[in-house]
Structure 1
């Protein structure tokens, strides 16, 4: 686990209250989010995203299977990240899907049911190592 004041550097795989994992995988980077991601935890998500953007040139996928709740700070972060890299989401529950729908963000942040669907849509080969 990571102390709330500690920023991830390029050599760390993220493990924090908001980020369950962050790793490269065959041409893309996957960041797993968990729990309730609100403004006070965004530094951790931003740090993990920064590592992904520095260490990879491929799309960034956010795994939302363990995400309980998110506020507009996460949505804004995801939208800002699309300015730098292709971003996709997978595993969102109905509340997150509804948030994307209501805000219109679904047109910018493609949402897939699982990693395989995201890979297919992004034309990436399937991987035997799944998050």
Structure 2
């Protein structure tokens, strides 16, 4: 399991994955902090866990992400070749990155989980409204 409850890894950096969980027909992965190439391994592990344990779309929660470099964008684009991927909670800078790179057409971004579910025509999770 990726989310081990630790606040910091061995190098004193906050983990880049805050949670990963099934949510009805989707798998949601919450990211946090500045997600750069040095921290991408944790995101890759969480993504692989989701791919191995679900068959529905992957939704990435970006509301706690301040910055990401091209390595995260590349990871999301590569993942979208294997499974439907959507984002929610991205700040203005991240949304702009998606627009200027042309990734917005491949990685749709929504305000919140509910908006993502609605846009993807997914039913609400039985545990959540």
> 81, 84, 101: which is aligned to 1:86?
84
Cα distance in 2, alignment partners of residues 80 and 92 from structure 1: 19
Which TM-score applies when normalising by structure 1? 0.87
CA contact (8 A) 2:2 2:42 kept: no
Partner of 1:8: none
Q: Are 1:14 and 2:13 matched, yes or no?
A: no
Unaligned runs of 5+ in 1: 1-11
- The DSSP-based 3-state class of the residue aligned with 1:58 is coil
| Offset of residue 13 of structure 1 | 4.4
**Distance in structure 2 (CA, Å) of the matches to 1:129 and 1:50:** 24
More moved, 53-62 vs 118-127: 118-127
Alpha-carbon distance between aligned partners in 2 of 1:129 and 1:48, rounded to the nearest angstrom: 22
Q: Which consecutive segments of 4 or more residues in structure 1 shift more than 6 A?
A: none
The two structures, once aligned, show a CA RMSD in angstroms of 1.3
In the alignment, what sits opposite 1:121? 119
**So what's the TM-score if we normalise by structure 2?**
0.88
Pair 1:77-2:75 in alignment: yes
2:33 pairs, out of 16, 32, 35, with: 35
Question: How far, CA to CA, are the matches of 1:126 and 1:28 in structure 2?
Answer: 10
Give the C-alpha shift of residue 129 in structure 1. Answer: 3.3
Within-5 A mapping of 1:39-118: 39-118=37-116
